[in-house]
Amino acid sequence: MKYRELGATGIRVSEIGFGAWGIGGDSYGETDDRESKSALVCAFDQGINFFDTSDLYGSGHSETLIGQALSGHRDQVILATKGGALPYGGMRMVQDFSVAHITKAVESSMRRLKTDYIDVYQLHNPALKDLTDDLLSTLTDLKRSGKIGAIGVSLRSPVDGQGILERYSFDAVQVNFNMIDQRLLEVKLSVLARQKGFGIIARTPLNFGFLASSLSNIVFGENDHRRNWPKEQLELWSNSSNLFESLCQQRKISKAQLALQFCLAFDEVSTAIPGMLNTGEVLENAAASELEPLTAEELQLIQRIYQTHAFVVKEVKHREVGRRYSEKIPVPKF
């Protein structure tokens, strides 16, 4: 496993991190806690030291599992969690970024993680209006007290980063980035990272699993968030991994490994955090760090595929509890 600096924090993180949304048990189908903890231990054994979670995932269950599995290795792991998002149904997120809530959330996360400090604490998908002076002052105080090592923000979308990151400084920024979602590059967040010194945590590097497998003709269960996306969007994603098949064959690597290598091709990315539910996925994903980097020609091919194909419908209708609503999603422009 190779390691990189998390921006200017002085924290060294594994190139492949452990995305712990799925092990919460309420967003990627049914899970087995024993299998989840085995995956966490396996990740540690493979050199993964960065574990990213949230108090939202399984209403804290993901944090609890991490605390149980890794408490004996606390000084050897980097724990990152998030706060501000509340349990919700469908695709519309309910949030609370009040000082009272965040202060309590930090304490609750530490208790579940079995630790007295959190290496990276991130605000979970805030809007610009949520970033009040009182909130940021509170986070700074928590950092000074040693309860937080670094202050981060998990962006709802790369586009949100333009307004937030030009106005505020964070140590780490978590954002969607993968072969079929390159908005991070389009809105120049990588340039801003170099200028302001924050580390980028690349989430959804496998695009909800669709870049690791075609996932075609799969019926997602009640507790799988992917069932909320409309059929048209799922069809676009289900065919996407096949577009990169020739590169996988040439390199003799898996689809997931190619997707992770793409994220790691950019120096501003400190770590990529695929979701992992079992030891098999851990071993496959961790191995991506040791592969030969993508060549300039291979990167150009991936970017050309992205530029010449549609990967998001212009108007997506999400299914929410009892009703439907429309949300305009930006279409990449070149």
Provide the annotated active-site residues: 57
CB atoms within 10 A of CB 3: 16
Structure tokens, 37:
């903890």
Measured CA angle at 208 (ends 303, 212), to 5 deg: 65
CB atoms within 10 A of CB 35: 13
Measured CA to CA, the distance from residue 21 to residue 187 in angstroms comes to 26
Measured CA to CA, the distance from residue 85 to residue 96 in angstroms comes to 6
Distances (CA, A) of 87 to 90, 100, 143, 151, 158: 10, 17, 26, 22, 23
The residues near 280 (Cβ < 8 Å, ≥ 6 apart) are: none
**Contact assessment for residue 82 and residue 122, using Cβ atoms and an 8 Å cutoff:** yes
Place of tokens 């069809």: 235
Measured CA to CA, the distance from residue 174 to residue 159 in angstroms comes to 13
Measured CA to CA, the distance from residue 302 to residue 324 in angstroms comes to 34
Q: Following CA atoms 15, 21, 22, 28 in sequence, which dihedral angle do they give, to the nearest 10 degrees? A: -120
